[in-house]
Amino acid sequence: MKTDIKKYPLNPKTLTEQEWKEKLSPEQFYVLREKGTERAFTGHLLNNKEKGTYSCAACGSELFNSEQKFDSHCGWPSFDNELGENSKIIKKRDLSHGMIRTEILCANCGSHLGHLFDDGPTETGLRYCVNSLSLDFNKDS
């Protein structure tokens, strides 16, 4: 589950932390910029079943589509894959909280999205566990 960071460089025109604080809600800032986690089963997109595209709440980069979403019963929106070769996700080893995990970040703005696990029930075997606060949903027309 390695991603070549050079293939997906961070946007060189990133905002200062103060600008992020002004752009995002306090809850979004905590998750997206401070690598926080929303409480399980509280996210506004957890039970969303509409067709559309999920994008980074900080910069708008498209990350997942509704066909990749599944109910993992873990308490956060889960996806079994990214948007393909144009994916805007960086994977990074995360050793915080005494665990070994794979953190997922928006490749465009560097914002924290959630974590990737290899215990998914679909054909990919992957579970992108994503905070609702780190996502926007754009419904298909």
Q: Where are the domains of the chain?
A: 17-40+58-139
Q: Is pLDDT above 50 for 129? A: yes
Q: Measuring CA to CA, which residue among 4, 25, 12, 16 is closest to residue 87?
A: 4
Q: Is pLDDT above 50 for 2? A: no
Averaged pLDDT, 100-116: 93
pTM of the model: 0.86
Return the CATH fold of 17-40+58-139: 2.170.150
Known catalytic residues are: 129
**44-51 long-range CB contacts below 8 Å, 24 or more apart?**
44/132, 45/77, 45/132, 45/135, 45/137, 46/75, 46/76, 46/77, 46/132, 48/77, 48/137, 50/137, 50/139, 50/140, 51/139, 51/140
* CB atoms inside a 10 Å sphere around CB 58: 26
Averaged pLDDT, 120-131: 93
Q: Is pLDDT above 60 for 10? A: no
> Per-residue confidence at 36, pLDDT binned at 50, 70, 90?
very high
pLDDT at 13: 56
- Measured CA to CA, the distance from residue 116 to residue 95 in angstroms comes to 13
DSSP tag of 31: H
> Per-residue confidence at 12, pLDDT binned at 50, 70, 90?
very low
